[in-house]
Amino acid sequence: MTTKSEHETETGRTPSEGPVPASRLRKALLMAAGVLALALGAAGIFLPLLPTTPFLLLAAACFMRSSEQLYDWLIHHPWFGSYIRNYREYRAITLQAKVTSLVFLWATIGFSIFRVVDSLAVKLLLFAIATGVTVHLVRLRTLTREMLEETCPSRVKTNLRSIDTQEG
């Protein structure tokens, strides 16, 4: 019969390696949240009231902490990658993304405040959160054709479709 060293746990790992189940569970939950956020972001491309960029940013954040493969796939994806890169590189989103996000945000918060929540404290909290998100979105730069041409002319074609639909 083999004996465990004094530093090994029941799982056969040393304390410095950390608990296996918690790490695996955390990764699995983050991956599931990333897949859900990705699905909502993808739906947002086709549904005008569902914001795309925030969900894709959430998916990227979840994948970055759970799966390097999925993160790399998302960042380099021909459709989804540009949303994330534009935000990371330019701190900018398209005008359509701003408007859609704000409309969706205030519609859901307004519905919650006036139809769902009874507590005044919770109503004020929801209003404060929505105000904070609004300030953040308004302060973000709006992605323009010139921004793309000045920093990376080869990427202009992949982003023109979303910019041209706003200008036209």
- Residue 118's pLDDT is 95
pLDDT, tens digit, 9 for 90 and up, residues 55-73:
999 999 999 999 999 999 9
Q: Which residues, 6+ apart, have CB-to-CB distance to 156 below 8 Å?
A: 145, 148, 149
State the average pLDDT for the chain. 81
- Give the sign of the dihedral formed by CA 57, CA 166, CA 128, CA 47: negative
| CA atoms of 59 and 71, how far apart (whole Å) | 8
155 has pLDDT over 60:
no
- Comparing 3 with 77, the larger pLDDT belongs to 77
- Across the range 20-33, mean pLDDT stands at 86
Q: Which residues, 6+ apart, have CB-to-CB distance to 71 below 8 Å?
A: 60, 63, 64
| CA atoms of 14 and 134, how far apart (whole Å) | 47
What token pair was written down for 16?
Answer: 């410095």
- Whether the predicted model's global pTM rises above the 0.85 cut: no
Sorted by where each begins, the domain ranges of the chain are 19-160
| CA atoms of 110 and 104, how far apart (whole Å) | 10
- Residue 11's pLDDT is 44
- Across the range 37-56, mean pLDDT stands at 84
In sequence order, the β-bridge partners of residue 93 are 142
